Structure 1
């Protein structure tokens, strides 16, 4: 990752994988696998800067879409992550909690945060094109 942790004005060159879905709160969901994988987007990671602490929820916790499920702490801010889906948290990424720089380095891979067994209801999420439009405003 480059040394540019701050998002400057102007067009962003963000990685927005096509196979994922996104929330307006900059959280991604991969529901092509079960349990679904959830993490923060590269946009959110760049806005926060270098993460220093991640407060993960307990496995087995039931969450509703819109719940604040964990906190991300950087030198700049402490931000809650709003979960875009409802379900039961089956796994948390202890590696990311032990070394939050994993999220900065690979937010869509090794930096995943939660694996959630989804409830039956379909979440209202954005596709990659709609999310790219949101982040370009």
Structure 2
């Protein structure tokens, strides 16, 4: 399983990258694989406040509906309209085209590096 080293991760299988105080958020390939074929995403709206560790949306697949958790606290700046229109991008390209939303963040949640994230997926 591919886990890019340039990101941080949550135990709930979200990833983030940070640039200039803005976090881009997505779900990991591990989560996308476990979900199966993603058919719908419910994301926070631009301007919403999200809180690290709290539910901020849902991802629905042919197998189940899973909650999406915010890895950081802050204001949602953008959502990926392409993934809303084509939710299968979460499965086919979870680390690039399948990103979900961006947040100007104030505080981080409990984040893991790639090695720590790999360790929990093998447990």
TM category, shorter: over 0.9
How many corresponding residue pairs?
A: 123
Correspondence 1:40 to 2:27: yes
Aligned to 2:60, what secondary structure does the other structure show?
strand
Correspondence 1:130 to 2:116: yes
Aligned partners of 2:111 and 2:21: how far apart in 1? Answer: 17
Q: Which residue of 1 aligns with 2:52?
A: 65
Correspondence 1:52 to 2:52: no
Kindly report the root-mean-square deviation, in angstroms, between the aligned alpha carbons of the 2 structures: 1.1
Q: Which residue of 2 aligns with 1:93?
A: 80
Structure 2 residues not aligned, in runs of 5+: none
- TM-score by length of structure 1 reads 0.86
Structure 1 residues not aligned, in runs of 5+: 1-13
As a proportion of its length, which structure holds more strand? 2
Structure of larger gyration radius: 1
Runs of 4+ in 1 over 3 A off after TM superposition: none
Q: 1:40 to 1:33 in 2, by over 3 A?
A: farther
Aligned partners of 1:135 and 1:108: how far apart in 2? Answer: 17
Q: 1:45 to 1:33 in 2, by over 3 A?
A: farther
